[in-house]
Amino acid sequence: MQNAAKPLILLSGELHTNKKFGPETINRGAALFECEWDGGVFESGLFVGGMFRSGRFAGGTFLGGIFWGGSWLDGTWEGGFDRVGIYRSRGDNPTAPSS
């Protein structure tokens, strides 16, 4: 039986810059600036100016980064870029076809 990776839980009050977070990560309130998100669950907090490569965005605020892949489930889209680099305005859904 394979051991599952121990989850890394990010919490409110934390600020992370220029880091990469893998599929074991769950964000519960931290602010991420210029970070790469690859596979975890973003439940709440702030994602600014980074690369959302994969995973689930289930809550929190997305501001100015690139939504490359993954699922947009819920949260506040304040603005940012889709995977072809087109700016998606406030309130948009980055995985929906562009209008």
Partner 1 sequence: MPRLLISSPHRYPDLARLWHRSVARELVPAFAALQLDVEVNIFCDANAEQFEPRSFPDVRFTRSGPGMRDFMEFYDATLEAPCDFLLFIDADTFILDGSWAASYFSSLDDPRVAAVSYVPRDGAPAIFALLCRVESYRALPRPAMACRYEFPENWPHGANPQPGDVAARELAKAGQKIVNVGQEESSRHVAQFRSTTGIRSSREQITRAAGNSVFWKMIDMCPEYLGAAYDNLVLGRLYESLFREPFAVDSAGVALGGSLTVDEMRQALSGVCDADRLETLRRGFRQSHDNILRLARREGVELTIPSVLPEASAVV
Instruction: Please report, as ranges, the residues that interact with partner 1 according to CB under 8 A.
Output: 12-15, 17, 29-31, 33-34, 44-46, 51, 60-61, 63, 66, 68, 76, 78-79, 81, 83-87, 89-92
Angle at 43 between CA 6 and CA 36, to 5 degrees: 70
What minimum distance in Å lies between the beta carbon of 62 and partner 1? 10
Long-range contacts for 73-77 (Cβ within 8 Å, ≥24 apart)?
75/42
The answer to whether residues 80 and 67 touch, using CB atoms and an 8 Å cutoff, is yes
How far apart are CB 4 and partner 1 at their closest, in Å?
Answer: 28
Nearer to partner 1 by C-beta: 71 or 89? 89
**Structural tokens at position 50:** 């980074």
Q: How far is the CB of 9 from partner 1 (least distance, A)?
A: 15
Provide, rounded to whole angstroms, the least separation between the CB of residue 85 and partner 1: 4
> In the complex with partner 1, which residue's Cβ is closer, 39 or 81?
81
44 CB-contact burial (10 Å; exposed 0-12 / middle 13-18 / buried 19+): middle
